[in-house]
Protein backbone atom coordinates (compact mmCIF):
# COMPACT_ATOMS: atom_id res chain seq x y z
CA UNK A 1 0.00 0.00 0.00
CA UNK A 2 2.85 2.38 0.86
CA UNK A 3 4.39 1.83 -2.61
CA UNK A 4 1.08 2.77 -4.28
CA UNK A 5 0.97 6.12 -2.42
CA UNK A 6 4.57 6.89 -3.38
CA UNK A 7 3.85 6.03 -7.03
CA UNK A 8 0.68 8.17 -7.02
CA UNK A 9 2.57 11.09 -5.46
CA UNK A 10 5.33 10.76 -8.07
CA UNK A 11 2.81 10.77 -10.94
CA UNK A 12 1.06 13.85 -9.50
CA UNK A 13 4.37 15.67 -9.05
CA UNK A 14 5.36 14.95 -12.66
CA UNK A 15 2.00 16.14 -13.97
CA UNK A 16 2.22 19.41 -12.03
CA UNK A 17 5.82 19.98 -13.16
CA UNK A 18 4.90 19.33 -16.80
CA UNK A 19 1.90 21.71 -16.89
CA UNK A 20 3.91 24.90 -17.72
CA UNK A 21 5.81 23.10 -20.48
CA UNK A 22 2.58 21.75 -21.97
CA UNK A 23 0.97 25.20 -21.82
CA UNK A 24 4.00 26.69 -23.59
CA UNK A 25 3.78 24.08 -26.33
CA UNK A 26 0.07 24.80 -26.82
CA UNK A 27 0.74 28.48 -27.48
CA UNK A 28 -0.16 30.07 -24.15
CA UNK A 29 0.68 33.77 -24.63
CA UNK A 30 3.60 35.50 -22.98
CA UNK A 31 1.96 38.61 -21.54
CA UNK A 32 4.45 41.28 -20.68
CA UNK A 33 4.92 44.93 -21.46
CA UNK A 34 7.00 47.30 -19.38
CA UNK A 35 7.38 50.99 -20.19
CA UNK A 36 10.99 52.17 -20.00
CA UNK A 37 11.23 55.80 -19.03
CA UNK A 38 8.78 58.56 -19.83
CA UNK A 39 6.53 59.31 -22.77
CA UNK A 40 8.30 62.12 -24.61
CA UNK A 41 6.16 64.66 -26.44
CA UNK A 42 7.65 65.90 -29.72
CA UNK A 43 8.65 69.57 -30.00
CA UNK A 44 5.74 70.22 -32.39
CA UNK A 45 3.38 68.64 -29.78
CA UNK A 46 1.80 66.47 -32.47
CA UNK A 47 3.02 63.09 -31.22
CA UNK A 48 4.76 61.34 -28.35
CA UNK A 49 7.08 58.35 -28.14
CA UNK A 50 7.30 55.76 -25.38
CA UNK A 51 9.91 53.01 -25.18
CA UNK A 52 8.43 49.65 -24.11
CA UNK A 53 9.95 46.22 -23.53
CA UNK A 54 7.35 43.64 -24.48
CA UNK A 55 6.92 39.96 -25.20
CA UNK A 56 4.07 38.11 -26.90
CA UNK A 57 3.76 34.69 -28.50
CA UNK A 58 0.74 35.62 -30.62
CA UNK A 59 -0.73 38.85 -31.89
CA UNK A 60 -0.83 41.04 -34.97
CA UNK A 61 -2.23 44.35 -33.76
CA UNK A 62 -1.04 46.70 -31.05
CA UNK A 63 -3.26 49.42 -29.62
CA UNK A 64 -1.35 51.87 -27.46
CA UNK A 65 -3.07 54.73 -25.69
CA UNK A 66 -2.15 57.59 -23.34
CA UNK A 67 -4.92 59.45 -21.49
CA UNK A 68 -4.37 62.50 -19.34
CA UNK A 69 -6.29 65.00 -17.20
CA UNK A 70 -6.17 68.72 -17.95
CA UNK A 71 -3.74 69.24 -15.04
CA UNK A 72 -1.53 66.28 -15.99
CA UNK A 73 -2.13 64.75 -12.54
CA UNK A 74 -3.18 61.15 -11.87
CA UNK A 75 -6.91 60.52 -11.59
CA UNK A 76 -8.71 57.25 -10.87
CA UNK A 77 -11.34 58.35 -13.39
CA UNK A 78 -8.89 57.63 -16.25
CA UNK A 79 -8.71 53.95 -15.25
CA UNK A 80 -12.44 53.40 -15.83
CA UNK A 81 -14.02 51.89 -18.95
CA UNK A 82 -14.94 54.69 -21.37
CA UNK A 83 -12.68 57.18 -19.61
CA UNK A 84 -11.47 58.63 -22.90
CA UNK A 85 -14.66 60.73 -22.76
CA UNK A 86 -13.53 62.46 -19.55
CA UNK A 87 -9.84 62.73 -20.48
CA UNK A 88 -8.58 66.16 -21.52
CA UNK A 89 -6.02 64.45 -23.77
CA UNK A 90 -6.25 61.03 -25.39
CA UNK A 91 -3.58 60.02 -27.87
CA UNK A 92 -3.53 56.55 -29.40
CA UNK A 93 -2.40 54.39 -32.27
CA UNK A 94 -3.17 51.05 -33.92
CA UNK A 95 -0.41 51.72 -36.50
CA UNK A 96 2.75 50.64 -34.64
CA UNK A 97 4.17 47.30 -35.76
CA UNK A 98 4.98 44.54 -33.28
CA UNK A 99 6.76 41.22 -33.39
CA UNK A 100 5.16 38.36 -31.47
CA UNK A 101 7.57 35.45 -31.31
CA UNK A 102 7.81 34.79 -27.56
CA UNK A 103 11.06 36.77 -27.29
CA UNK A 104 11.56 40.10 -25.52
CA UNK A 105 11.68 43.15 -27.76
CA UNK A 106 12.33 46.80 -26.97
CA UNK A 107 10.88 49.46 -29.22
CA UNK A 108 9.78 53.09 -29.24
CA UNK A 109 6.08 53.38 -30.01
CA UNK A 110 4.31 56.52 -31.26
CA UNK A 111 0.94 57.88 -30.17
CA UNK A 112 -0.77 60.90 -31.71
CA UNK A 113 -4.19 62.34 -32.60
CA UNK A 114 -4.49 60.86 -36.11
CA UNK A 115 -7.10 58.24 -35.17
CA UNK A 116 -10.77 59.06 -34.60
CA UNK A 117 -11.61 60.04 -31.06
CA UNK A 118 -8.12 61.22 -30.17
CA UNK A 119 -7.99 64.70 -28.69
CA UNK A 120 -6.22 67.33 -26.59
CA UNK A 121 -2.57 67.97 -25.87
CA UNK A 122 -0.37 65.84 -23.66
CA UNK A 123 1.57 67.88 -21.09
CA UNK A 124 4.22 67.21 -18.48
CA UNK A 125 2.84 65.05 -15.71
CA UNK A 126 1.29 61.58 -15.65
CA UNK A 127 -0.75 59.68 -18.24
CA UNK A 128 -2.66 56.41 -18.09
CA UNK A 129 -1.04 53.95 -20.51
CA UNK A 130 -2.90 51.08 -22.13
CA UNK A 131 -0.81 48.62 -24.16
CA UNK A 132 -2.92 45.89 -25.76
CA UNK A 133 -1.96 43.25 -28.31
CA UNK A 134 -4.65 41.29 -30.14
CA UNK A 135 -4.80 38.46 -32.61
CA UNK A 136 -7.61 37.98 -35.12
CA UNK A 137 -10.24 40.49 -36.16
CA UNK A 138 -13.76 41.45 -35.14
CA UNK A 139 -15.61 38.80 -33.15
CA UNK A 140 -12.63 36.45 -33.55
CA UNK A 141 -10.26 38.96 -31.95
CA UNK A 142 -8.42 37.71 -28.86
CA UNK A 143 -6.49 39.85 -26.38
CA UNK A 144 -3.01 38.37 -25.86
CA UNK A 145 -1.30 41.19 -23.93
CA UNK A 146 -2.97 43.82 -21.79
CA UNK A 147 -1.02 46.21 -19.58
CA UNK A 148 -2.39 49.39 -18.02
CA UNK A 149 -0.38 51.65 -15.73
CA UNK A 150 0.69 55.21 -15.03
CA UNK A 151 3.67 56.64 -16.93
CA UNK A 152 5.30 60.03 -16.70
CA UNK A 153 5.09 62.46 -19.61
CA UNK A 154 7.90 64.86 -20.50
Residues 9 and 48 in one domain: no
CATH number at residue 86: 2.60.40
Closest CA to 96 of 68, 131, 127: 131
Residue 103 phi, psi (nearest 5): -95, 160
Residues 14 and 44 in one domain: no
Contact between 149 and 127 (Cβ < 8 Å) = no
Residues 9 and 68 in one domain: no
Mean of pLDDT values over 126-141:
92
The domain of 20 spans 1-26
Residues 103 and 125 in one domain: yes
pLDDT classification of 73: cutoffs 50, 70, 90: very high
Q: What whole-number distance in Å separates Cα of residue 59 and Cα of residue 146?
A: 11
pTM higher than 0.75 for the full model? yes
CA 35, 38, 43, 44 torsion: positive or negative?
positive
Over the chain, what is the mean pLDDT? 84
pLDDT classification of 1: cutoffs 50, 70, 90: very low
Mean of pLDDT values over 25-48:
82
Amino acid sequence: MHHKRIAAAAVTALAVAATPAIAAEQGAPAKTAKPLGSAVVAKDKASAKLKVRYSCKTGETLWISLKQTKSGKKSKALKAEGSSQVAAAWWQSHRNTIKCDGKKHTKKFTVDKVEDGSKGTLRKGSAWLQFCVTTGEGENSKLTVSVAKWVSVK
